[in-house]
Structures are given as C-alpha cells and as structure tokens.
Amino acid sequence: MKNNINALKQPLVLIVDDTIENLQVLGSILKAENYKVAVATGGNQAIAIANEINPDLVLLDVMMPDVNGFETCKNLKSIPTTKEIPVIFLTAKVENDDIIKGFKMGAVDYITKPFNSYELKARVKTHVELKISRDLLKEKNELLEKLSTKDGLTGLYNYRYSTDALARLIEENSRYGQPLSIAMFDIDDFKKINDSYGHLFGDGVLVKIASMIENSLRKTDIAGRYGGEEFIILYAHTALEGAVESTKRIIENTQKLKWNDKSLKITMSAGVCQRKDEDISALIRKADSLLYAAKKKGKNTAEF
C-alpha cells in the first residue's frame, strides 16, 4: 500500500542535475509546493537512488558529464522497478531533434531552461497526479484479481482458488487424518481440436466439459480449471476408491457429449491419487505423472 501512503502524504520527486545551484532552485520550488525532494548529481547515481526510493517523478537534466539525461532515461525505462516512473526532461537544448529524442527515450514531458516556475509546477503536478492514479488503479485491479475465485470462461474455480483450497485441505488432512484425494484431468488432443475447428469452438468445448464436470460431482467436491485444458478436482474426505469411481464417471460422461460435427469424439485422461504425506507440490506432481501415464497408455482413461 506504499502508493496509497504516497497519495495521502507528500509525493516524492527526484531531481537530477550536475549543477548544484539548479538542484537548490528546483528543490526549493517543489518543497514550497509540499513535495518531498531527493537529488542526484549524475545519471548512475540517479538510477541507484530511483531504485531505492521509488519516486513519483524524475526531473532529469539532459546535459551531464558522465551519463547524459537521454542515456539515464533509457536505463530507467529498461529496469522493471523504475520503468513506470514518469520522467520530465529539463533541458537547455531546444532543437526539435532533441525534444523528439527525449520522447523516444520514454520521457512524458520536457521543460526548457531557463524555466518558468509556474510551468514547472503545473507540469510536475499533472504527471505526479497521473502516476498516483495509475498506481491506485493498479492496486485496485490486483486486489480484485485476488478476490476473484472463478475462472472467467468456464465458471469453475480458478487456479489460485483451487490451489489455496488444496492447501487448506492438506492441512486439515494432516491434522484430522480424514482421507483426501485429487484428480488431474486433461482434454485429449485439445490442440488438434483448436487447430481443426478454431479457438472459439475450443472455448465452447471447455465450457461444455466444465459444466459436465460440475454436474457429475458431489457438492463437497471442488472443481477448478488448472491450466488451459487442464482441470483439477479435490475430493475432500474421500479415499482413492471413491475418487477413482468419480473420475471414471467423468471420463465416460465426456465420451457421451454431443458435438455439432457428429464424427468428432472428444475424450479426457486423468491421474488420480490419495494423499499420504505429500506437500501440495508433491501431491500435484503425483497426480500429474499419473495423468501422463494415462496419456501414454493411449488416452481416454484414468490412471491411479
């Protein structure tokens, strides 16, 4: 929530200039506007500081002795942790070519020296506000994604929810000892189906199979879309025998599904196992390798 705090507190601006006097003038203008200010006197130092303090904006001098402003901007834009920070060039160069070069390096704006302090304040304010709203939006989207539990296409649980649920069931299984089984399913030759009938049809296959899976399960079973055409089913309080029975029923129900092209047969393979003392990744690996064995056996079958 770092950026929220920035929004409530003072935005932070990093000023980069090799002339100390410029740093002082710019710094006092911005401080008077309630910005927090950090300074650097060269390109490499600017990159190191930006990485450390994550400023909301960089004011960047173009002409500097070691690494010039264009190079510095290019570097900032190539580093994942600093590439979202808006950069405004401060430049005595006013040739069109230089301005274009600045924008090409990823700057959002430029201010020519000697600068007008009103113009400076207005431009800094605009870009800091944009940056902060972008950060807030990104945070909200991340939160929404975290809160969402369903896969958008099939309506089954998504990967995140399924693995979280499995982690909880494993803990419960370790504590109380009631059996826990899982099955990993994969639609056979799904790539071929997509290639021959198109991705829209492929999406329809996923939706139809997902709904068949849901209808084939008990209320306490958890079905998730694990990957592209891969599904995971968590059988809480169920020993291997029960899980195998359910898995076989799903494989049979898949064969019975009707498609527009009457000659088309779509099948699934599965790997089923009961937990002994595996952790989550070992348990999933176990189901996955059984699934792989089912594929090797000729598909349309379950291995356990």
63 binds Mg ion (CB under 5 A): yes
For the bound state, the minimum distance from the C-beta of residue 70 to Mg ion, rounded and expressed in Å, comes to: 12
Stretch of residues binding Mg ion (CB under 5 A), selected from 64-72, 101-109, 160-168, 187-195: 64-72
- CA dist 130 and 133 (Å) reads 5
Total residues interacting with Mg ion, rule: CB under 5 A: 4
Tell me: cis bond preceding 80? Omega within 30 of 0 counts.
no
The β-bridge partners of 95 are none
71 binds Mg ion (CB under 5 A): no
The binding track of 86-125 with respect to Mg ion, each residue x by CB under 5 A or -, is ----------------------------------------
For the bound state, the minimum distance from the C-beta of residue 122 to Mg ion, rounded and expressed in Å, comes to: 23
For the bound state, the minimum distance from the C-beta of residue 61 to Mg ion, rounded and expressed in Å, comes to: 4
> Which residue lies nearer to Mg ion by CB, 75 or 91?
91
Beta strand 230-236 with 180-187: parallel, antiparallel or unpaired?
antiparallel
Q: Give the CA radius of gyration of the chain.
A: 29
> Which residue lies nearer to Mg ion by CB, 63 or 257?
63
- CA dist 30 and 2 (Å) reads 21
Tokens of 236: 């809480």
CB neighbours (10 Å) of residue 195? Answer: 11
Tokens of 167: 């982690």
Catalytic positions, please? 229
136 binds Mg ion (CB under 5 A): no
Interaction with Mg ion in 7-26: which residues (CB under 5 A)?
A: 18
Q: How many CA atoms lie within 13 A of 43 on its CB side?
A: 17
Contacting positions for Mg ion (CB under 5 A): 18, 61, 63-64
